[in-house]
Amino acid sequence: MCAVLVAAAGAAGCTSHAKTAPDGLISPQEEAKIGAAAHPEIVAQFGGSYRNPQLTSHLKGIVGRLTKSTGGSASDYRLTVLDTPTVNAFAAPGGYLYVTRGLLALANDEAEVAGVLAHELGHLDARHGAKRQVAAQRVSLLGSLTGSLHQSDRLPLIGTRRVAAYSRGQELQADKLGMAKAAGARYDPNGAVSFLTNLQRRFKLNAEVTGSEPLAAGGGMFSSHPGTGERIAAARSYGLSFGDLSTGYYRNRDAYLNLIDGLTYGENPGRGIIRGQTYFQPALRIRFTAPKGFEIANLKDTVLVRGPDEAAVIIDGAEVDEDTVLKRHVVYAWGEGLDLKNVRSFTVNGLQAVSAETMHKGVGHELVAVRIAPRAVYRFLFITRPVVTARYEKKFRAMVASFRKLTDAELNDLRPLRIRVVEVEKGDTVKRIARRMAVADRQVERFRVLNGLDTDAELVPGQRVKIIGN
């Protein structure tokens, strides 16, 4: 499972100037320093840590059982649950383990979570992070993406998500090491198989919903080398070597469902809420809708809207003096040092706005600033390669036109979503329970993915399932 973007920068990127041992790898002591230095940035970039002591304690117990099975100690590792809906898990040097609440929501039992954590422990045991140090530099890619406009020469990289990926062999090795570690702790090693299978279903559904398969399948923790399908086949084959798993191996489904009942689902309202193609920010009382086929992601202090052909929008806010002329802010502050063209003033749903265009290091940019309060400005930076600018110009303009303030009714409706565990009653069907899901579309498909159900699977009375509710 690859550590993406910031995680990769933390896990491998800060090794470029570290001292190496005779085997060519950095020492464990250097790895510990790197992990400690990267940890605060990783936590910040992924939305902070998720505050649920009982959940975190339980997950640390799983790590303890996994490490004990191979003679290790849980004290050698530091686990953090990240407050993001992204489905991800990764490890950083020095024994730092990270799992997102998005992954915990997708998992359906303790064996699946144990399989994920064991895989990351496998990467650490095999020192894969140290072995890929030559591929990175001491820099946060996300920091460069969301930094000043003058760093935009790096922006064409945003569509690729190819930073410091583990190799095909390393991923397969970590799968194998993780399954053996899980089995040693008496967890059903096929938990890794069922989770990977469900993750593949999620990729497929996201691709269908967004209409952008490369983006849906191109990021996240299981998607670089090799593909998820190949890993499922390899893991399923390796699982046969453990023999009869019908007795003495744990799945712990009920205990796990009890643990995540009430888990926050989707975006943390304090950082903005993404529902379909629309982004809501309750704190600022604003909303906008991204073009179909584009993907919205909350980053630290910014929102990234990413589309095909490396087209993207980076959105942030700025504080200005109450008497600052908006055009002056765009030209002399935000766009300082740039050759801005076609600077114009207009209004967006009653809000004052200014736009400008520029070409910077071969990349086309359009700047749009909207004043949302006397001292607050919301800013859109549209980025495209010149050869595709015309293709996305109307989409960008429609996105700006959708920007407006939230009504009181909309604000009241933006309550956080949560995982709710319910029991199937007599007469309940997938369709009937799926209608209780607090999602706007594809309720049946989302319900099946959330619960790891095959397309022909039926429910039985007494079965416990997850839904998305308030």
For 335-357, how does the pLDDT look when each residue is reduced to its tens digit (9 = 90+)?
998 899 999 999 999 999 999 99
Same domain, 187 and 79: yes
186 lies in a domain? yes
**Is residue 73 in some structural domain?**
yes
Residue 112 has pLDDT above 90, yes or no: yes
1 assigned to some structural domain = no
The domain total for the chain is 3
Q: 113 and 77 in one domain? A: yes
Q: How long, in residues, is the chain?
A: 470
- Residue 464 pLDDT: 98
Question: Which candidate, 130, 132, 116, 120, places its Cα nearest to that of 91?
Answer: 120
Same domain, 65 and 175: yes
* 150 pLDDT higher than 90: no
- On whether the pTM is more than 0.75, the answer is no
Task: Give pLDDT tens digits for 164-174.
Answer: 467 888 889 99
Together in a domain, 67 and 107: yes
Pairing of the two strands 312-319 and 302-306: antiparallel
Residue 63 belongs to some domain of the structure:
yes
Same domain, residue pair 66 and 212: yes
Could you tell me the residue range of the domain that residue 424 belongs to?
A: 416-469
User: Given 241, 264, 287, which residue is the final one in a domain?
Assistant: 264
**Domain for residue 23, yes or no?**
yes
**273/260 same-domain check:** no
> Looking at the structure, do residues 316 and 343 belong to the same domain, yes or no?
yes
Identity of the residue numbered 402 = S
- The verdict on residue 331 lying in a domain is yes
Do 288 and 431 belong together in one domain?
no
Domain co-membership, 74 together with 106: yes
What CATH number should be reported for the domain holding residue 461? 3.10.350
In a domain, 79, yes or no: yes
- Shared domain for 183 and 56, answered yes or no, is yes
The CATH number linked to 384 is 3.40.1000.10
What is the spatial distance between Cα 213 and Cα 380, in angstroms, rounded to a whole number? 25
In sequence order, what are the residues at sequence separation of 6 or more whose Cβ sits closer than 8 angstroms to the Cβ of residue 160? 218, 310
Q: Are residue 425 and residue 396 in the same domain, yes or no?
A: no
Q: Examine residue 291 and state whether it is found in any structural domain, yes or no.
A: yes
* pLDDT tens, position by position, 203-252: 899 888 766 543 333 334 554 446 788 999 999 999 999 998 888 899 99
